[in-house]
Amino acid sequence: MLVVLGMFVLLVLPSVIGIVHDRRIDRQIREAQEARKEAANSAAATTRSAQKSSSRSTVPSTATWYADGRRSKKLVNS
């Protein structure tokens, strides 16, 4: 019975070592991804706080609307 148990341990041991190794690698990858996300979030927050908002309207001027209309007419007439 001890021989059978010893053979069972010898057959199962490589699989158990592989599973433990894979879980350790998965944990390291997960930690690295979380660290990368935190770094990206802090960089984005820094960029957002450094940007200044404009008080000007983002609506195009009348000249821009006129020029766009003229361009489209040229394309249709050509």
> pLDDT for 3-61, tens place per residue?
999 999 999 999 999 999 999 999 999 999 999 998 888 877 777 666 655 566 666 56
- Which segments of 1-78 are extended strands (E)? none
Side-chain-side CA neighbours of residue 33 (13 Å): 6
Q: Count of alpha carbons within 13 Å of 66, Cβ hemisphere only?
A: 3
pLDDT at residue 25 in the model: 97
